[in-house]
Structure 1
């Protein structure tokens, strides 16, 4: 049994706002102005949108993890990558030094996505740009009484997820039936948060009740080198929870527009490089 028992440290519900077409609705699961609390995570946006919302655009200095909740999401990048992701699929992007891509709904679909921005250490902000699609059926599933855990990244429940990020993280999807319980083991040094996609759950040693659209940040022991436990118990017939964790980087950053760098001078350089064509041709 792990010695460190996780508690829900802070908890809130996502507030949504209607957007101008072709965007439809947006909410901040993790607001960007609290990135120090979430380190190594910077922000997470929940979006509903149609084709034309996120055409060709650049990124530098961070990673993204996009979970498709509903609809279809088309990814196009200027390295020749093109694919369509469906509900339950995940895309990982290391923007590195110069990503240029487009993310859009397919045909008349309304794409519903969760996009997490994950920081890169200063020494890796100029790394090679890479993309990885993890289809839902490729992620290993571990059943337990009354539910299952699907592992996209990290070593969880005795299996290793296929998502391979530059900064090691865990990402798991836990599905619970009414009254069922599960104890999720995570590295105790990882900062972590959970998001309730459906249903209602009692979470943590302090037994905090969190319903759909609820976010909970979790206690952690940054100096620890063992495992920790997060207890989860469902209060609805169908409960689904995403849990993300990662080791803090502890560097000052400047998130600005589509770039995340360590100084404002580096942000200005990124804009200048984009204008000068150093990010390559458009993603079309």
Structure 2
């Protein structure tokens, strides 16, 4: 059943908004921008950062992770993924890939052949009790995410319970991820748990958001108001309206973890001692190796 917005429901507004700034990178990387910058973990909790990258093969070869999750969305080009659980896949535009690094992941993310891969990668924190959880990977192809159509547009649900459907992503902690398409003049009221911290990123077009109708265009980012002490079972609503022929926005949400974050290189833990242990374990070969399921 689709939840309809009511007068008693918490109405979300835009808290902060900005536009991504990009910098050129050295070959085989091409360009990079920070959708969520790296120094605001407390504000974005449970999200740590989001990077937008354009890159060719050889940029993100074998590398380790521990203590967090990633959600990688392919905007353009093809992305080849290979990991230490024996996984191998090629993702195309609109596909996404989830990784729970947990105890220890080793993977590579590369452009295919001569493609320039254009991706968004979100780092999502794990609570302390899950930082040593088993490593896992999941690909969600664009066509496998349910789509709900409405007058003036549609919503594709990758994760969470939204618009009466459930996304296929099985994350270690509950989150929502949706992709909303709107025609010119199209409007939609997105329903999210009221205690979820949330942000959005405009992929194309011109849109107004929230109770104050804050306008954002392509490359625009916004964080949203929420009820941190609220109940996950209580819904909240976000108004979205398109002012252009073809508007697309991604919206992510999750409940804050509110634990100490120590991020260093490819690891996200709760203490510096845990970071040092992660480096020792990786250097000792305990993470296993890419292309196999040995750990």
State the alpha-carbon separation in 2 of the partners of residues 116 and 15 from structure 1.
Answer: 17
Which residue is 1:194 aligned to?
A: 200
Determine which of 53, 56, 66 is the counterpart of 1:60: 66
Partner secondary structure for residue 39 of structure 2: helix
Question: Is residue 2:263 matched to residue 1:255?
Answer: yes
2:100 aligned to which of 91, 94, 97 = 94
Relative distance call for 1:88 and 1:19 in structure 2 (3 A) is same
Which residue, out of 272, 280, 283, partners 2:288? 280
Q: Deviations over 1:235-273 (max 9, x none)?
A: 111100000000000001101100000001100110111
Hey, what's the Cα distance between the residues in 2 that align with 1:272 and 1:234?
A: 50
Match for residue 177 of structure 1 among 174, 180, 183: 183
Matching residue of 1:20 = 26
2-structure distance, mates of 1:111, 1:244: 22
State yes or no: 1:136 paired with 2:142: yes
Shift of 1:119: 0.2
C-alpha distance in 1, partners of 2:42/2:270? Answer: 13
Q: Which of 208, 219, 230 is 2:225 aligned to?
A: 219
| Conservation of the 8 A alpha-carbon contact between 1:102 and 1:283 | no
SS at match of 1:37: helix
Native 8 Å contact 1:8 1:219 kept in 2: yes
Match of 1:49 in 2: 55
CA contact 2:24–2:31 (8 Å) conserved in 1: yes
Instruction: State the TM-score, normalized to the length of structure 2.
Output: 0.95
Given candidates 242, 251, 255, the residue that maps to 1:243 is 251
Query: Quick check: 1:38 aligned with 2:8?
Result: no
Task: Report how far residue 280 of structure 1 moved.
Answer: 0.9
Match of 1:163 in 2: 169
Equivalent pair of 1:186/1:227 in contact (CA under 8 Å): yes
**Aligned residue among 235, 239, 259 for 1:231:** 239
CA distance in structure 2 between the partners assigned to 1:78 and 1:98 by the alignment = 9
1:279 Cα deviation after fit:
0.7
User: 1:106 aligns to what?
Assistant: 112
Range with bigger deviation, 273-282 or 32-41: 273-282
Q: Distance in 1 between matches of 2:81 and 2:284?
A: 24
* Paired residue secondary structure (1:32): coil
Q: State the alpha-carbon separation in 2 of the partners of residues 143 and 69 from structure 1.
A: 21
Contact 2:261 2:269 in 1 (8 A): yes
Contact 2:87 2:291 in 1 (8 A): no
Question: How far apart are residue 32 of structure 1 and its match?
Answer: 1.2
Mapped partners of 1:151, 1:61: distance in 2 = 26
Please state if 1:5 is matched with 2:11: yes
2:128 aligned residue:
122
**Cα deviation, residue 38, structure 1:** 0.4
Q: Deviations over 1:5-51 (max 9, x none)?
A: 00000000000000000000000000010010000000000000000
Q: CA RMSD in A?
A: 0.8
Runs of 5+ consecutive residues of structure 2 not aligned to the other structure: none
For 1:280 and 1:100, locate their aligned partners in 2 and report how far apart those are by CA, in whole Å: 7
